[in-house]
A and B are shown apart, each in its own frame.
Chain A
């Protein structure tokens, strides 16, 4: 199957700082990537759709100025959590469609963010 990587896998930061998370498709190109957030023992919540060459599309209730998304190339999307606060602590996961005949999405391993 297609491989999606994320970096870093874990990050701990102080309140008020910004954190950047990278999502890469390693063996395929992705014009679209998705960013999710997952709280403990809960399902994935879609935050935004990242589009290569254009602005991201945010889900209702997600602050676009707080969660900055940049789809820099066909293999890289970044999520920057700006002025992070403890309530932003969560598991952030990206996904990308492989473009193959299976026509579905593959997920990265996730990034655990802890804001102190």
Chain B
């Protein structure tokens, strides 16, 4: 079993839809959880960061962490064509100087 599982998609939705992206993990030592957005041929861009169970909201984005189920989610409200990208979940056990473990990434396309 891989440490982090993420459905690679692809996921295609109409503009304005609510998007739900998910990752599961097996390592209970993971304490810090991140979502990155990566446009084609670009470096990943940090979207959301959280270190506790619960919800964190930033504009149209909501990150949700359930440590008891080892499950994290990213919700995108009112999705826009500019949200079309690959979304990567990442996590580690000890903060910034510790290696990140990534999911495979989910390719999202928002159709106008």
- Which A residues form the contact surface with B (CB < 8 A)? 1, 4, 6, 31-32, 34, 41-44, 46, 49, 91, 93, 95, 97-99, 102-110, 112
Q: Does B36 make an interface contact (CB < 8 A)?
A: yes
Complex partner residue of B36 from A102, A107, A112, CB under 8 angstroms: A107
Residues of B within 8 A of A41 (CB): 107
A93 nearest CB neighbor, chain B only: B43
Q: How long is the Cα–Cα vector from A41 to B36 in the complex, in angstroms? A: 15
Known: A43-B88, A44-B88. A97 touches B44 (CB 8 A): no
Q: Does B60 make an interface contact (CB < 8 A)?
A: no
Residues of A within 8 A of B45 (CB): 107
Residues of A within 8 A of B77 (CB): none
User: Does A32 contact B97, Cβ atoms closer than 8 Å?
Assistant: yes
User: Does B105 contact A109, Cβ atoms closer than 8 Å?
Assistant: no
B105 nearest CB neighbor, chain A only: A43
Known: A93-B44, A109-B42. A43 touches B103 (CB 8 A): yes
User: Does A97 contact B96, Cβ atoms closer than 8 Å?
Assistant: yes
User: Does B44 contact A44, Cβ atoms closer than 8 Å?
Assistant: yes
Q: How long is the Cα–Cα vector from A107 to B45 in the complex, in angstroms? A: 7
Q: How long is the Cα–Cα vector from A4 to B95 in the complex, in angstroms? A: 18
User: Does B42 contact A104, Cβ atoms closer than 8 Å?
Assistant: no
Q: Does B108 make an interface contact (CB < 8 A)?
A: no
User: Does A99 contact B96, Cβ atoms closer than 8 Å?
Assistant: yes
User: Does A108 contact B43, Cβ atoms closer than 8 Å?
Assistant: yes
Residues of B within 8 A of A102 (CB): 49
